[in-house]
Structure 1
Amino acid sequence: MKNIFKIGTLFIATLIAVHSCKPDLNLVNPQELSTDTYYKTADQLEGAIIPAYEALIGRVQGGYARSFYYELLAPGDDFNHTFKWEPMYYDTYNTPSSDGLLSGTWKDMWNGVFASNLAISKISEFTGPIDPARKSRMLGEAYFLRGVFYLHLGMMFGETIPLIDKPVTSDADYYSSNSQKGQIYALITRDLAKAADLLPLRSALYANAAFKGRATKGSAQAYLAKAYLYRPILELGQPANFAGAEAELKKVIDSKEYQLVSAYKDNFSEATENNAESVFEVQMFNGPGWLGDDLSCSWRWQEIGMFDGTGGAWWNLAPNKKTYDEFETGDPRKFMTLWCDNGAKFTQIDGTVTDYAYWMSKLATNKDLYGTRKYCPDVQVSDFDNGINDRLIRYADVLLMYAECLNEKSDIAGAKQYINMVRSRANNVVPSEQPSLWYQHSPGTIPDVDGLLAQNITKNGVPLNNIKSIIAHERFVELAGEYLRYFDLLRWGMADAKWLEPLKTIGWTQRAMYYPFPQVELDNNKNLRGNAMNN
């Protein structure tokens, strides 16, 4: 799949860029390819989908290549900006509408929407020779990607973003006004439901190695479930659709297409991408040269991975002590998630083997913050960008969302069963780990749910004495650094305000629930009004 992203990406992206720029003159060059003259064969239709996948990475650094690990992690209570980036707005709830990364995110997500709309249109209207299963699969991918882009836009900017569901052809399309309440949520769930109907199972699609990493039926079902759970964020004032989410998650589980991998750390390395636990991940590729020639790489390990003073790390954003304290004694995931005391060592490119004492000796401040080992190599690479795929939905997430749905309907025994599957895996010995780490040869010691309830412990002020609190705790530690904590607190807080208290403590207000619309967009489009953060 990494190579598929490269093939034709620049060419197809150029078609989109040319077609989406409003011309000053009505001139047509019959020798020049355009979106109106190119998509004439089934093979060319395959190319229509690629720019949408690429937009998730971010061609203007507005996706998972760079912007998202700031914009999705920093607002939570689990990561803080360091002295290396002052000021950073994303964790202060005062991001200005002029912010550059935010503008890049807006552009890349709308590029993805445009590419998806174009693909849906061209594939739907295609009347040439094509295998019906192939056409359904391509159309399913396009609907899936549009749903995912709108999900991201809704999470970050709110439900008044424009609704554009067809290729841009007129002034009205270029200068769309705000959507009405409920429209964005309806589009997201409708698109993902269509995708789930159209896409093949993972085993069928991945039988062709060229399609490994593309969206599957399970990807669409899992994302549809997530949209149902995120409804309080995507459509303010409306409750989560737990019944709808439960039904979709059960389909994923019953498909037997996915399973937890034995070693937790295998979810975050380049050597084990698209494994049995991966439901959907962003396909990164680190080409030659600085930043990679194809712009499909990530800066994540350099910017939010290793401590400052180690291997030239930037260390702009870091897990805080709350994240460190949330892990239970004997939980190996702590040392696979964080660079911390008694944890793994990091080898610099000059061969220097560094440890916690070394890292602390290089720090004059922020000694209460940690490094992010998750997605970070143990040995420094020669360039700071890398091609480690970002796992957006893992089977562990599916199991914990399912447990949450079961708990909401008071199926306590069922909820415990699925939480225990995740907790049990956490205790596994990891033979591939560094030999100095104790869980390389001895199992973890965290108890099952009943054992945890019996301990009656409190983590960061939250007593783990009921299933909902245990689910919140388990999502915190299992999925730390995977872009979910802030949005978990938001969606729970819309039903029970106590979950908003950790955010309010660090300055969050209802007004700052979303990022502001970029000012450059409001300047260009007089039909569009900003959200509360623009006022």
Structure 2
Amino acid sequence: MKHNIIKYMAAGCLLATVSSCKPDMDLNNPSEVSTNTYYQKISQLQKSLIPAYQALIGRNQGGYCFTTLFTLLAPGDDYQRTYKWSNMYQDTYNTPASDAAAMGPWQDWFNGIMAANLAIDKMNNFAVNDNDKETLNTMLGQAYFLRGLYYLNLASLYGETIPLYDHAIATNADYYPANAAKGTVYPQIINDFKKAAELLPVRSKLYADASNIGRATQGAALGFLAKACLWRPLIEKGKSVDYDTAIAALKKVIESGEYKLNANFKDNFTNNPATENGSESVFEVQMHNGNSWMGGDLSDSWRWLNIGLPDGTGGCWWNLAPTPMAYNEFENGDPRRYMTLWCPGGADFTDMKGNTITFDDMNAKCSSDKDLYGTRKACPDKMISDTDDDFNDPLMRYSDILLMYAECLHFTGHDGTDVNDNTGAKYWIQQVRNRANNIVPSEQSKLWYSKSPGTIPNVDDLLNAAPTINGFKMDNVMNVIEHERCVELMGEYYRYFDLMRWGMKDPKYLEPLKKLGWNENKMYLPFPQEELNNNPNLKGNEAN
């Protein structure tokens, strides 16, 4: 999948933007390729998905290539901005409408929606024969999945009054939509994921063809359907979580037998082709490091450059850094701390000359922010010669599925008798904690867990000991879920949204954000000012 996306990028992006620029004119150039004349074959419809996938990375650096690192990580309590550009990439609740952080995701993800809508339109109106029906359904399922994912991201970042595009652009009016009516975006997200789950095959069937590896599967659609149900309070403020739909979707993923936890936590975050898109991967962004720098190949990641090594090490910019809260959230004896962070007692970095650099060496070079850490997760351990890298970006892992399932069971009154009771939440949390204690023989030999297991206690023992971690006492299952999601998924973009959605039900989970200046009127990014200037029918949200 990684190479297929790149191979057809130019053609796919072109075709996605050649929709009728002058819809009210009857002039027609018979030699001009247009969306009305091109999509006549299954192979051509397949290419319509390329720009829809590409928007995940971001043609305008607004996706997981660059800007999303700031929009999704900066507002949480586990990351802090370390760059010195005062007019760019603010925290979500301090971002002006003119900021690039507000514009980037909006542009790229709405581009993805436009591409997905074009694909859906052409596929739904394609006269398919019986031999191609399954192939067409698989492609259509991917288009619905991607549209649902982009709207889930956009609605949780900007609120539910974002424009609602449910069809391909056809008229001038389509370019200038008004705000979506409240209560209309969430149902489309849910319906898109449900349609995708019905149309898409399971992972093992789709990935039997190696060219499909990395594409959306039934498991991905079900996983994000569940996530959308849990995130409903963020998208439809005042509405409750749909636990019944989430439980059914998560249970189907678990019972499918298509996924399992990797024995080694770190195997989820390497650029090794043998472990990328592995058994724990539900959906990840496919990155490819081409020949041009500064994102010119539209397929790369700037993650390590922006949030990786501390300032002064290996040429990284270190624009966002894990906070003391992030370091302290890990229990002593949890190997995940050292696979997630550059920190004391952790791994060494190797420079271009083969020199070993410890965290103490890194910290000594910092001109400021010496109380912060670096991000090792999904970043290289050795200096690379290019600005960008090709580490895939996991958006959902099986551990997330298990922890969402535990959360659903907890809130529906099923904590379980103990960690061995698989009808209760504690059992599913324990599966994730069991893996955390595994020996990781492939790790650097200096790291103790390369030879000895981790020592974090089981859930029952943690509850009995009831330590207080960053202000939350581990004396109830919900606080254990909060803690486990934080350490397991740190740096994977969900912390801020977890705290907000839980805070809609119990305000104590908003306290870490309020200490940073959060308030409810600033929970979303403002609509980009450029978009408001261009579209007279669109009004800003409460953050504008």
One-letter code of the match for 2:135? Answer: R
Deviation at 1:128, TM superposition (A): 4.3
What SS class does the counterpart of residue 402 from structure 1 fall into? helix
Checking the alignment, whether the CA contact within 8 Å between 2:312 and 2:365 is kept in structure 1 is: yes
2:488 is equivalent to residue 487 of structure 1: no
Checking the alignment, whether the CA contact within 8 Å between 1:346 and 1:355 is kept in structure 2 is: yes
**Equivalent residue runs for 1:52-71 within 5 Å:** 52-71=52-71
1:228 is aligned to 229
1:8 is aligned to 8
Deviation at 1:23, TM superposition (A): 7.6
Checking the alignment, whether the CA contact within 8 Å between 2:18 and 2:35 is kept in structure 1 is: no
2:119 is equivalent to residue 109 of structure 1: no
2:379 is equivalent to residue 376 of structure 1: yes
The 10-residue stretch of structure 1 (421-430 or 349-358) with the greater mean CA deviation from structure 2? 349-358
What SS class does the counterpart of residue 525 from structure 2 fall into? coil
Deviation at 1:28, TM superposition (A): 2.7
Change (3 A) 1:339 1:22: farther
2:409 to 399, 403, 406: 406
**Equivalent residue runs for 1:446-457 within 5 Å:** 446-457=456-467
One-letter code of the match for 2:341? Answer: L
2:292 is equivalent to residue 282 of structure 1: no
Cα deviation 1:308-357 (Å, max 9, x = unaligned): 11011100100000010000010000000000000000011132211122
In structure 2, how many angstroms separate the alpha carbons of the residues matched to 1:90 and 1:77?
14
Change (3 A) 1:133 1:371: same
Aligned CA RMSD, in angstroms, stands at 1.4
1:19 is aligned to 19
2:329 is aligned to 326
**Equivalent residue runs for 1:259-298 within 5 Å:** 259-271=260-272, 272-291=275-294, 294-298=297-301
Cα deviation 1:465-509 (Å, max 9, x = unaligned): 000000000000000000000000111011111111110111001
Change (3 A) 1:48 1:83: closer
In structure 1, how many angstroms separate the alpha carbons of the residues matched to 2:484 and 2:307?
23
Checking the alignment, whether the CA contact within 8 Å between 2:88 and 2:101 is kept in structure 1 is: no
The 10-residue stretch of structure 1 (391-400 or 283-292) with the greater mean CA deviation from structure 2? 283-292
1:392 to 392, 395, 399: 395
What SS class does the counterpart of residue 73 from structure 2 fall into? coil
2:46 is aligned to 46
In structure 1, how many angstroms separate the alpha carbons of the residues matched to 2:71 and 2:112?
18
2:35 is aligned to 35
In structure 2, how many angstroms separate the alpha carbons of the residues matched to 1:527 and 1:92?
24
1:478 is aligned to 488
TM-score by length of 1: 0.98
What SS class does the counterpart of residue 165 from structure 1 fall into? coil
Checking the alignment, whether the CA contact within 8 Å between 1:83 and 1:366 is kept in structure 2 is: no
2:367 is aligned to 364
Change (3 A) 1:501 1:186: same
In structure 2, how many angstroms separate the alpha carbons of the residues matched to 1:275 and 1:250?
20
1:253 is aligned to 254
Checking the alignment, whether the CA contact within 8 Å between 2:71 and 2:92 is kept in structure 1 is: no
What SS class does the counterpart of residue 532 from structure 1 fall into? coil
Change (3 A) 1:127 1:458: same
Cα deviation 1:52-86 (Å, max 9, x = unaligned): 00001101101000011110000111100115443
2:531 is equivalent to residue 521 of structure 1: yes
Deviation at 1:454, TM superposition (A): 1.7
One-letter code of the match for 1:137? Answer: T
One-letter code of the match for 1:281? Answer: E
In structure 1, how many angstroms separate the alpha carbons of the residues matched to 2:440 and 2:389?
24
In structure 2, how many angstroms separate the alpha carbons of the residues matched to 1:191 and 1:61?
25
Checking the alignment, whether the CA contact within 8 Å between 1:193 and 1:221 is kept in structure 2 is: yes
What SS class does the counterpart of residue 412 from structure 1 fall into? coil
Checking the alignment, whether the CA contact within 8 Å between 2:51 and 2:115 is kept in structure 1 is: yes
Cα deviation 1:223-278 (Å, max 9, x = unaligned): 00000000000111101111211111000000010000000001111112100000
Change (3 A) 1:489 1:22: farther
Deviation at 1:30, TM superposition (A): 1.3
Checking the alignment, whether the CA contact within 8 Å between 2:23 and 2:172 is kept in structure 1 is: no
Checking the alignment, whether the CA contact within 8 Å between 2:437 and 2:455 is kept in structure 1 is: yes
Checking the alignment, whether the CA contact within 8 Å between 2:23 and 2:170 is kept in structure 1 is: no
In structure 2, how many angstroms separate the alpha carbons of the residues matched to 1:359 and 1:67?
25
One-letter code of the match for 2:148? Answer: G
Aligned length: 534
What SS class does the counterpart of residue 188 from structure 1 fall into? helix
Checking the alignment, whether the CA contact within 8 Å between 1:61 and 1:101 is kept in structure 2 is: no
Structure 2: runs of 5+ lacking an equivalent: 417-423
Deviation at 1:25, TM superposition (A): 6.8
1:165 is aligned to 166
Deviation at 1:31, TM superposition (A): 1.1
Change (3 A) 1:89 1:302: closer
The 10-residue stretch of structure 1 (286-295 or 422-431) with the greater mean CA deviation from structure 2? 286-295
Checking the alignment, whether the CA contact within 8 Å between 2:92 and 2:523 is kept in structure 1 is: no
Deviation at 1:170, TM superposition (A): 1.0
One-letter code of the match for 1:190? Answer: N
Checking the alignment, whether the CA contact within 8 Å between 1:117 and 1:146 is kept in structure 2 is: yes
**Equivalent residue runs for 1:82-93 within 5 Å:** 82-91=82-91, 93=93
The 10-residue stretch of structure 1 (16-25 or 430-439) with the greater mean CA deviation from structure 2? 16-25
Identity over the aligned pairs, expressed in percent? Answer: 55
**Equivalent residue runs for 1:128-143 within 5 Å:** 128-129=128-129, 131-143=132-144
In structure 1, how many angstroms separate the alpha carbons of the residues matched to 2:38 and 2:82?
48
TM-score by length of 2: 0.96
In structure 2, how many angstroms separate the alpha carbons of the residues matched to 1:523 and 1:22?
21
Checking the alignment, whether the CA contact within 8 Å between 1:40 and 1:128 is kept in structure 2 is: no
The 10-residue stretch of structure 1 (79-88 or 488-497) with the greater mean CA deviation from structure 2? 79-88
Change (3 A) 1:21 1:61: farther
In structure 2, how many angstroms separate the alpha carbons of the residues matched to 1:127 and 1:83?
53
2:204 is equivalent to residue 194 of structure 1: no
One-letter code of the match for 1:257? Answer: E
In structure 2, how many angstroms separate the alpha carbons of the residues matched to 1:92 and 1:54?
24
